[in-house]
Chains A and B, each alone.
Chain A
Amino acid sequence: MYSYVFRRVFSALPTLFVVITISFFLMRVAPGGPFNLERPLEAKVMENLMRIYNLDKPLWEQYAIYLYNLFQGDLGPSYFFRDFSVAELIAQGLPISVQLGGLALLLALTIGCGLGVIGAIKQNQPADFGVIALATIGITIPNFVVAPVLTLFLAVHFDILPAGGWGDGALANKVLPVLTLALPQVAVIARLTRGSMIEALHSHHIRTARAYGLPGRVVVVRHALRSALLPVVSYMGPAAAALLTGSVVVETIFGIPGIGRYFVQGALNRDYTLVMGTVIVIAVFVVLFNLIVDLLYSLLDPRVRYD
Chain B
Amino acid sequence: MTLKITLGQTSETGLRERNEDFFGVTTPTDEQLATKGVLLAVADGVGGNAGGREAAEMTVRGVLSDYYATPETLGVSTALDKVLTALNRWVISQASSHHAMSGMATTLSLLVLRGRHYTLAHVGDTRIYRLRNGEMKQLTTDHVWDRPDMRHVLKRAIGLDQQLLVDYAEGELQAGDVFALMSDGVWERLGQKGIHETILLYQTPQLAADNLVKRALAEGSQDNATALVVRIEQPGEENLADLLEEAKRLGLPPRLKPGEQLDDFEVIELLYESRASLIYRVKNLLNGQVCVLKTLQPLLVNDMESYNGLINEEWLGKRVVAHYFPQVLPVPAERRSCLYYVMSWHPGATLQQKLDSGQHFSAADVGSIGLRLAKGLGALHRLNIVHRDIKPANLHQGDDGKLRILDLGVATSAVTVGESTGNPGTPSFMAPELFSGETANTQSDLYAAGVTLYHLLTRRYPYGEVEPFQRPRFGNPVPPTRYRPDIPQWLENIVLKAVAHDPAMRFETAEEMLHELEVGERKPILPSPPTSLLGRDPLLFWRWIAIISLLVNLALLFKLMLR
**A interacts with B:** no
Residues of B within 8 A of A (CB): none
Residues of A within 8 A of B (CB): none
